[in-house]
Structure 1
């Protein structure tokens, strides 16, 4: 995997979905290609129905065969051998999972760019990724964060990437009971396809939406205890606990990799309990 790509913190991916309009043009995903400028002729022609001309290119294969390297080659035209974390201390892959609409992309954008992705946008197609370096006890930890499609029709695609993940952030929407009820099914898929020692964290997102809430925090805590996974509520809109979620995962992964006895004593659940914000968020408007 190219270190040229991952050395720059602005490195982004267009996603594994490729939108085709007239001739082949890469259109931006919600999280990438900030400097993209469509060709002028695209605005002069009548607007096509994007859903009718939308095409997806999916990369499949076992872990380590080079799926991501092919994406980077296509995205940048460059290739260098070696780990994506070669230029920093350590690096890990984190995947965001959950039903469509629970806020996975918004959580990623809030963590990576520090702002809320408001408004309506097309759901993630296939898989998208972004990278960010966090500092844990003076050690740079590079996180490659994969944003996955939540729709059922893309589930077989995301399964192919489970085994590459070091950590999985599983999200539900506290205003959507169905997304919470489906967590058990997601956890079943994780047990089937992911590594046995993968770090799992359950996130109840949109916690700022007080009036619309239908899933109690206690329900999330109870489910997390049942499956022995870490838990917290988050809000991509207000930023509540978003940074903490990724930092806690980075610390847990670093502690597992470290040979320092003090690092090995790290307890992610206790860390979350100590650090979690206990403030009331403003009512949501979206």
Structure 2
């Protein structure tokens, strides 16, 4: 058990955006470390396992921690992972959609295994951060520039590989 760190680069509106992803797999023992990363985060992805009701219930605790420790304008995104395991679903999509609406954040169901909606989720978060930071470009997009959005923080209640 460890913190997994990855760099993921996406291109939004002709701009290369480098996301630093810190994955603690939702482990409580990393909570003090992750709250320190909240302070500099421009975006936070909260992930629960659709086959594990407890992981969904724990999202409220992470939301509270983000509210207490992150910058007021941090972009947040809720992901329900393992949507490829519909037969074992314990958390209804409607439950997560309602939670996301209550917190004013976007929601996606994803599958790290099949990569379903993974790129869409990262692109959505990167686009929201870029727009909020005033990085929207118009005009000539021939040569992409580069923006480093760091640290982006991913909370995950289930360890899984993202591309």
Q: Counterpart of 1:150 in 2: which secondary structure? A: coil
Task: Measure, in 1, the Cα distance between the counterparts of 2:113 and 2:100.
Answer: 23
Task: Measure, in 1, the Cα distance between the counterparts of 2:82 and 2:92.
Answer: 12
Relative to its length, the structure with more strand (as a share) is 2
Q: TM-score by structure 1 length?
A: 0.46
Q: Find the counterpart in structure 2 of residue 166 from structure 1.
A: 42
Asked if the contact 2:76–2:106 (Cα under 8 Å) also holds between the matched residues in 1, the reply is yes
Answering whether residue 68 of structure 2 is matched by residue 192 of structure 1, we say: yes
Q: Find the partner of 1:153 among 29, 46, 49.
A: 29
Q: Counterpart of 1:197 in 2: which secondary structure? A: coil
Q: Could you list the runs of 5+ residues in structure 1 that have no partner in the other structure?
A: 1-122, 263-286
Asked if the contact 1:208–1:235 (Cα under 8 Å) also holds between the matched residues in 2, the reply is yes
Relative to 1, partners in 2 of residues 1:193 and 1:128: Cα closer, same or farther, differing over 3 Å?
Answer: same
Answering whether residue 109 of structure 2 is matched by residue 242 of structure 1, we say: no
| Aligned pairs for 1:1-286 within 5 A | 123=1, 125=2, 127-258=3-134, 260=136
Q: Find the counterpart in structure 2 of residue 6 from structure 1.
A: none
Q: CA deviation at 1:184?
A: 0.8
Provide the aligned length of Structure 1 versus Structure 2: 138
Task: Measure, in 2, the Cα distance between the counterparts of 1:186 and 1:235.
Answer: 21
Q: Which has the higher contact order (CA 8 A, sep 6+)?
A: 2
Q: Could you list the runs of 5+ residues in structure 2 that have no partner in the other structure?
A: 139-163
Task: Measure, in 2, the Cα distance between the counterparts of 1:209 and 1:259.
Answer: 37
Q: Tell which structure's C-alpha radius of gyration is larger.
A: 1
Q: TM-score by structure 2 length?
A: 0.79
Q: Counterpart of 2:88 in 1: which secondary structure? A: coil
Q: CA deviation at 1:258?
A: 2.3
Q: CA deviation at 1:133?
A: 2.0
